[in-house]
Each structure stands twice: as C-alpha cells, then as structure tokens.
Amino acid sequence: MYQVAFYNLENFFEIHPYSNTSPHEFSPNGKMKWGEYRFEKKVEKVGKAIKLLEEKTKIQPLFIGLAEIESKAILDRITSFRLLEDSNYKSIHFNSKYERGLDVALLYNANLFEILASEPIEVLLKKTGSKKVYSRDILYVKGKVAEEILHVFVNHWPSKRKGSAKKEAGRVEASFLVQTKIEAIRAENPDAKIIVLGDFNINPNTELMRDFALFSNLINPMTSIYNENTGTLKFQGRWHLFDQILFSDNLLKSKSFKFQSAHIFTDPYLIGTRNEKTKEPNRTYFGKNYIGGISDHFPVYALFE
C-alpha cells in the first residue's frame, strides 16, 4: 500500500532579521514576534504531525505536497527532526516570484520514490508595463515508484481573500497551466499516470474545480467527502475543503498503483485542547495573536494499492 498526502503549513517563515526601515512581520520584533522558540516549536509540531500520519495509517507517505513554506532550509529542519530522521525524507523546493515569499514543496520518501525531473511552473497574475505580479509557482515532479512513472503537481492557487474577481482569474490561470502541462505529458504518453494535489482555495463542488477535473480527465475523490460539517479548514465560520488530491482515471485500474480511498487527517493532536468543541485545526496564529498550534489546515491523504 502507498500513501500520498498534502499539508498546508500556514505561514511557515524563517526567522527574518528586524529592520526599522522595512520590518518583516515574521521577525523577533515584527508584528508576529517570530523568534527562535516559536520557529523551533513549529518544526517540532509539524514533525510530530507527519509522524502521527505515518503511525495512524501504518504507512509512510510516498510523498507529501506542502504549501506556505518559505525555504529549503525549513524543509531540511523538518526532515532532520528527531522523529523523522530515520524516514529518509528528501525535499524539492524552488523559490517563486510570489511577493510574500511562500512556496509549495514536496517531501518524498527517497527509499521508494526516485526523482526523474522537477520544475516550477510560474503563475503570472497580471502585467502592468514592466511590472509583473506572480502567485505561487506550481511544482511539477516526475518520479518513479516500483515500475510506475508518476507525474505530480503540487498547487497553491490564489486565495479567496480580497479582490474576489481577480483571485478567481488567478485560479483560472493556474488551472489552465496545469491542464496545458498535462496535455503535453499525454501527447508523449497517453497512458501517463498523474496526481494533482494542493490547496486550491475553492471547494471540490465549485464550477472551476469541476471543469478542471473534467477537462484534465482527472478523478476528484474529495467531492464525495465534502459537506457542510467537515473540511480541512474553517473560513468565515464555515467548513471548506480547499485541500484536495486528484488523479488520472487510469489509477482506478492500475495493477501496481491503484487508488483505494481518500481522507482528511483529523487527529486530536492537530485539533488541540482549545478546539475540542469546534474540532477545527489548531492554528499557529489567529491574526497577529500567537496560538501555538501547527496549522489552520488539516492534511489530506490518499491510499493506493
């Protein structure tokens, strides 16, 4: 059995030096008071969450797509965390041109998943004269497990906050870029096996998400999971399932990598005592107030036989 997963890590920044002229919010004297103690606690909590996912499912993930992580250095801190140091996780990360400096990345089990190629796909939101505004890159990775070649896309599409129409246009652009890359892959190999995962900032039942799955010929198992009483995050008082894993339909009948089921991982450790009633993720920050949790999202995972 194989497992693939995705986890939005909620603003996982390095500790930035403080500047009076241009203070970074994630610095010891910045708005978020982000210092060594809080950084190390976040590394520990993320590491424990990944280890819990391994233990509760009894399967080490083949790979974990990540969102809202600033640098390769943070990924190295996570993979060297004492509970994960024997898991042989390696990472792939590219710095994007996104103004906040947060990117997507991939942790992968180097014992099982052989990386053949990887590249970032830039998401240009707008161009005004010489000025260009970018969203987070999409990460494309081609890898091999057993005798199967997998094409993996890690996404974090533009958010639903502020400027709704512009953000929707950004999500349309991101979906088009993934779809175009998938078409190019299938032009070379019509039977290519594809997994698309990430934080899409829209629910699986939205028109754009349905169209993306349809036109890309992908299965979205999260559609049957989503309802008003469950999700991976709470936004404006409602549950949402922005974090999703999709796959090509040939993974329904593959002999060596066949889809079995998809899940939201809602272990009590990720909820914390303060959210026992609401059952929502125990976040790191609420606004500028430090809560001390892991993330404002739950991870999702899918099992393949």
Domain that holds residue 247: 2-304
- The domain that holds 7 is classified in CATH as 3.60.10.10
Share of the chain above pLDDT 90, in %: 87
Query: What digits encode the pLDDT tens for the residues 185-199?
Result: 999 999 999 999 999
Question: Structure pTM?
Answer: 0.96
DSSP string, the chain: -EEEEEEEEEEE---PPP-SSS--SSSTTSTT---HHHHHHHHHHHHHHHHHHHHHHTS--SEEEEEEE--HHHHHHHHTSTTTTTS-EEEEE-----TT--EEEEEEETTTEEEEEEEEE--EEEEETTEEEE-PPEEEEEEEETTEEEEEEEEEPPPSSS-HHHHHHHHHHHHHHHHHHHHHHHHH-TT-EEEEEEE-SS-TTSHHHHHHHHHTTEE-THHHH-BTTB-SEEETTEEE--EEEEEEGGGGS-SSS-EEEEEE---HHHH-GGGTTT-----SEETTEE---S-SS--EEEEE-
pLDDT over 60 (residue 109)? yes
pLDDT in tens, 60-81: 999 999 999 999 999 999 999 9
Q: For 88-100, what is the mean pLDDT?
A: 96
Give the chain's domain count.
1
Query: pLDDT tens across 6-56, in order?
Result: 999 999 999 998 877 777 999 999 999 999 999 999 999 999 999 999 999
The predicted structure's pLDDT at residue 273: 87
